[in-house]
Amino acid sequence: MLRKTIFWTHLVCGVLTGLVVIMMSATGVVLTYERQMLAWADRAQYADPAPGQAPLPIAELLEAASRQDPEFEARTLSLSNDPRAFATLGAGRSSSLRIDRYSGEVLEPAAAGLRSFFSAMTGWHRWFNASRENRAIPRAVTGISNLAFLFLIFSGLYLWLPPTFKWIRFKTRLLFNGKAVTARARDYNWHHVIGFWSAIPLAVVVATAVVFSYGWANDLVYQVFGEDPSGAGARPAAAAGESGAASVASYSADATLTSPLSLDELFDRASMQLPDWQTLTLTLPGADARSAQFRIDLGNGGEPQKRHDVTLDRYTGQVALWQPFDAQSPGRQARMWIRYLHTGEALGIVGQTVAGLVSLTSLIMVWTGVALAWRRLVTPLVRRRRQGPAPQTGVADAANP
């Protein structure tokens, strides 16, 4: 009875959410290597400075950007370790300005068509590409579909187990069967084999999507580690030099320091914290701020375990707060991992490839699952309608021999 109930619930959920899952899976495949493709497109705007030419001071870059786009209010400044790369000014999650480090010229984003395409794919992936004011219902639909898809994965693993534990039954569920020549036998075989081998990575991709969809799921990540979601963050700062924890140094009380270091000097100091950095991002400090906060990224931007934070005294350049990834609370670390496990980027190019592959296999599972459901539920009805009503027998025949 339990198996029958799970089977029919599995079938109904698959049929009802099939189209949405297809949409999310197809766009997920398209978005697999978005980061690498956009980075490759950006290289077209890398500058080739003349021999001996030095980049403009950061203060001049900020002034040039303000002059060319007075309405842009920069909050962050990012520099790449590649001296040819442009600087990036940020004004929020989706607003940025890129500027040539040698000429101070504001650059239009490269490959505008490619960026627009990926933006549209992301919109479809999350909320059917609806406008901002119309996203509530599509977001709810994709959220429910993610929950249903997660149920399909785990219920599918239960249904995958054969009623009798014999090798011949396991074999038809573990390996592709070349003798499955009919469409029904092929779909049955593919659905079980692909479902089994992709279950674990697909469960990770879908479960992380549920965290994005629901506040209770996001809070649960912190609660699993015994943390309050509203106050989740870093561990308490520890003594300077303590391994794997935040380290703090006192601000200098030297009264002779009357002016802060330049932003270039602060960038130089931050770069010495981890010499193998790939990107340095400064949260632009206010005029009276005593400290400057940097994020040091040792990876490609999608590997949270390679991102670390350092706060410098603007007047001495000393480290006021060193907060590597390991200094974050366990709940915060988990939440940062979840963000990039969904796309596989946290595990590099291999992780991205796996995430893209299971998105592709989910398309096959939906197709074969719906095909099996069609043959089970619809085909018999169509066949009976074509055959017409059964001939009348019994009393009427007896009355008219």
Residue 247 confidence class, pLDDT cut points 50, 70, 90: low
Phi and psi angles of residue 116, each rounded to the nearest 5 degrees, phi first: -65, -40
Only one residue has tokens 């959920």, namely 13
- Dihedral angle, C-alpha 97, 103, 104, 106, nearest 10 °: -30
How many angstroms separate the Cα of 39 from the Cα of each of 1, 54, 345?
54, 24, 14
What was the pLDDT predicted at 330?
95
250 versus 290: the higher-pLDDT residue is 290
Report the candidate in 303, 304, 321 with the shortest Cα–Cα distance to residue 312: 321
pLDDT in tens, 205-224: 999 999 999 999 999 999 99
257 falls in which pLDDT band (50, 70, 90)?
low
pLDDT at site 370: 95
Query: Per-residue pLDDT for 103 more than 70?
Result: yes
- Kindly give, in sequence order, each residue whose CB lies less than 8 Å from that of residue 391, ignoring residues fewer than 6 positions away: none
pLDDT tens per residue, range 340-399: 999 999 999 999 999 999 999 999 999 999 999 999 988 888 888 887 666 665 544 444
Tokens linked to 72: 């842009």
Residues 6+ apart with CB under 8 A from 131: none
Q: How far, in Å, CA of 205 to CA of 80, rounded?
A: 30
- Alpha-carbon distance values, 174 to 2, 154, 197, 253, 359 (Å): 23, 17, 8, 69, 19
DSSP letter at 11 equals: H
Structure tokens at 223: 């609660």
Cα–Cα dist 246/322, whole Å: 5
Residue 372: name the closest of 151, 189, 125, 228 by CA.
189
State the average pLDDT over residues 63-70: 95
State which amino acid sits at residue 180: A
pLDDT value, residue 393: 55
Which span out of 41-55, 184-198, 369-383 was modeled with the highest average pLDDT?
A: 184-198
Structure tokens at 282: 């400064």
CA distances from 266 to 29, 103, 389 (A): 41, 22, 86
Residue 134 DSSP label: G
Of the candidate ranges 15-19, 109-113, 200-204, the one whose mean pLDDT is the lowest? 109-113
pLDDT given at position 254? 52
What pLDDT does 392 receive?
Answer: 61
pLDDT reading at 19 higher than 80: yes
Q: Which segment of 20-29, 61-70, 175-184, 232-241 scores lowest on mean pLDDT?
A: 232-241
Task: Output the pLDDT for position 243.
Answer: 40
pLDDT exceeds cutoff 90 at 121 = yes
Which of left, alpha, beta for 244 (phi over 0: left; psi -120 to 50: alpha)?
left
| Percent with pLDDT over 90 in the chain | 77
- Residue 255's pLDDT band, with cuts at 50, 70 and 90, is very low
Tell how far CA 10 is from the center of its chain. 26
Amino acid at 268: D
Give the count of beta carbons closer than 10 Å to the beta carbon of residue 386: 7
**Whole-number pLDDT of residue 394:** 52
> CATH says 234-328 is which class?
alpha beta
pLDDT at 233: 52
Q: Is the pLDDT of residue 202 over 80?
A: yes
Beta bridge partners of 76: 90, 283
Q: Which residues pair with 79 in a beta bridge?
A: 280
- CA–CA gap between residue 231 and residue 234 (Å, rounded): 9
In whole angstroms, give the CA distance from residue 95 to residue 107.
14
| Cα gap 122→138, rounded to integer Å | 13
Nearest to 271 by CA among 281, 262, 258: 281
Tokens 């130089």 correspond to 268
Q: What pLDDT shows up at residue 237?
A: 44
pLDDT of residue 241: 40
Q: What band does 51 get if pLDDT is binned at 50, 70 and 90?
A: confident
Q: Which residues does 389 contact at the CB level (< 8 Å), separation at least 6?
A: none
Does residue 41 contact residue 108 with C-beta atoms inside 8 Å?
A: no
Q: Average pLDDT, whole number, for the chain? A: 89
pLDDT at residue 49, rounded to an integer: 87
> Domain ranges in the chain?
1-47+105-233+345-373, 48-102, 234-328
Query: Residue 160 carries which side chain, given as an amino acid letter?
Result: W
Whole-number Å distance between alpha carbons of 388 and 305: 66
**H or E stretch covering 80:** strand 76-80
